[in-house]
Amino acid sequence: MATEDWIPAKDARQMAMDGDLPPPKYIANNNTKFGPIETSPPFAPVPVIDISLLISSSKQEDDQLTELAKLRSALTTWGCFQAVNHGLDDSYLDNLRQVTKQFFDLPLEEKSKYSRQPGSSQGYGNDRTYFENQVQDWCDRLSLRLLPKNQIQLWFWPENPSTFRETIDDYTAKIRSIYVVIFEAMAKCLDLEENCFAKHFTKENDILLGRFMLYPPCPTPDAVLGVKAHSDRSGITLLLQDPGVEGLQVLNDGKWYMVPVIRDALFVNLGDQMQFTILYILIMSNEIFKSPIHRVVTSKEKGRISVAMFTEPDPDKEVGLVDVLVDEKRPRVYKTVKNYGVFNHECFQKGIIPLDAVRI
Ligand code: OGA
Ligand code: NI
């Protein structure tokens, strides 16, 4: 049942500083749909992909083919990979983490200037409440629309620290050139026309959402989640992790694994829109591009910061299968949907796998 959007009085950082135990709304360990909360499962051997090798002109063809094969295997087994040699160096990424941290370290009143309003998704705060008894994440978030530029709502963009806006603007442009390379490589590794995915996500009006997250230390990491189990609604997601602490977990074959932290890597995972577009061709070959279920656990001692970038196609355009991939032998598996993002989010809050709900 739909309910009023609930905005907590204190953010998670403030509760952590005040030594509060997580309130009952945050207790997630009785939601066992995806197994109990394990704070230190085995590490996931997530493949590492060298982005510089995916750019055709720059390297030997053989190296490129090897890397494309690795990419294909990564996306059919784990649905995610660690991207290295993407062109953003150590100090650049550290600066991004630094301004993010500086924002979260501001007093609550200052951050509240950018508060998410009930019923909206941009701004500072926790997730929207869609349902009664919705479990809250132990996490503070700043959600911003970064692209297209004419839809930016600048009043949600912090003015403090003073370099925040320019840092994010620059990061947006750099991330965009990285995801263009990745979308093209994803098509190439399936022997598809290079532009067939990219065209949905990298046209003039491509949508990029940014989410800046702080997971403060939590006195009861076994009882709460930083983010409940979900699959992303994006095309792909590019995540910058905190070099100092792990927290992100992926589900594979019914078991949870911790994603290792590689200092300068971007963790890239497929979202549902990508799985939609590709899934059925791979069924015949017994390979399936996966949109992995993932979640975040918290730590008793350490806070964690992450920055996620979500590519989205135009919500008014239908997201369906790549046309060339549909024929009599390969029937479509999913319905075509509009505004998949909203649908995905409601499923997430209800604990339903959205792709199951749109299967034909
Ligand atoms: C997300 C997400 C992971 C992280 O925001 O969708 O999965 O490590 N974040 O913050
Ligand atoms: Ni996610």
Angle made by CA atoms 294, 299, 301, in degrees to the nearest 5: 160
Starting at the earlier edge strand, list the strands of the sheet with 227-230.
227-230, 294-296, 248-252, 255-258
Q: What is the largest CA-CA distance in the chain?
A: 62
**171 CA distance to ligand 2 centroid (A)?**
19
The answer, yes or no, to whether any atom of ligand 1 lies below 6 A from the CB of 232, is yes
**DSSP type of residue 334:** B
Report how far residue 348's alpha carbon sits from residue 311's, in angstroms, rounded to the nearest whole number.
Answer: 18
Helix (H) or strand (E) holding 356: helix 354-357
Strands 48-50 and 80-84: parallel
| Ligand 1 nearest-atom number relative to CA 308 | 5
User: Closest Cα partner for 149 from 165, 160, 163, 164?
Assistant: 165
Report how far residue 211's alpha carbon sits from residue 229's, in angstroms, rounded to the nearest whole number.
Answer: 17
End-to-end distance of the chain based on CA atoms, in angstroms? 25
Percent helix, percent strand, percent coil in the chain, to nearest 5? 35, 20, 45
User: Closest Cα partner for 191 from 281, 111, 131, 125?
Assistant: 281
| Ion ligand 2: residues, Cβ under 5 Å | 232
**314 CA distance to ligand 1 centroid (A)?**
22
The answer, yes or no, to whether any atom of ligand 1 lies below 6 A from the CB of 16, is no
- Ligand number nearest CA of 296 is 1
**264 CA distance to ligand 2 centroid (A)?**
19
**DSSP type of residue 254:** T
The answer, yes or no, to whether any atom of ligand 1 lies below 6 A from the CB of 250, is no
Residue nearest to atom 6 of ligand 1 (CA): 232
SS (H, E, C) 267-322: EEEECHHHHHHHHHHHHHCCCCCCCCCEEECCCCCCCEEEEEEEEECCCCCCECCC
b (16+ CB within 10 A) / e for 105-117: ebeeeebeebbbe
**Per-residue confidence of the chain (360 residues) as pLDDT tens digits?**
445 677 777 999 999 999 999 999 999 987 667 789 999 999 999 999 999 999 866 557 889 999 999 999 999 899 999 999 999 999 999 999 999 999 999 999 999 999 988 878 899 998 777 777 788 999 999 999 999 999 899 999 999 999 999 999 999 999 999 999 999 999 899 888 888 888 878 776 789 999 999 999 999 999 999 999 988 988 899 999 999 999 999 999 999 999 999 999 999 999 888 776 766 555 555 556 888 999 999 999 999 999 999 998 776 666 666 665 666 766 777 777 777 778 878 887 777 777 788 877
| Ligand 1 nearest-atom number relative to CA 241 | 8
The answer, yes or no, to whether any atom of ligand 1 lies below 6 A from the CB of 268, is no
The pLDDT tens digits for 241-287 are 999 999 999 999 999 999 999 999 999 999 888 776 766 555 555 55
Helix (H) or strand (E) holding 228: strand 227-230
The answer, yes or no, to whether any atom of ligand 1 lies below 6 A from the CB of 274, is no
Task: Yes or no: say if 223 and 27 are a contact pair by the CB < 8 Å rule.
Answer: yes
| Count of helices and strands (H, E) across the chain | 9, 12
Report how far residue 279's alpha carbon sits from residue 76's, in angstroms, rounded to the nearest whole number.
Answer: 10
Residue nearest to atom 5 of ligand 1 (CA): 308
User: Closest Cα partner for 169 from 94, 99, 107?
Assistant: 99
The answer, yes or no, to whether any atom of ligand 1 lies below 6 A from the CB of 248, is yes
For 11, 213, 243, the CA distances from 304, given in Å and listed in that order, are 15, 8, 9
Task: Yes or no: say if 100 and 305 are a contact pair by the CB < 8 Å rule.
Answer: yes
| Ligand 1 nearest-atom number relative to CA 213 | 10
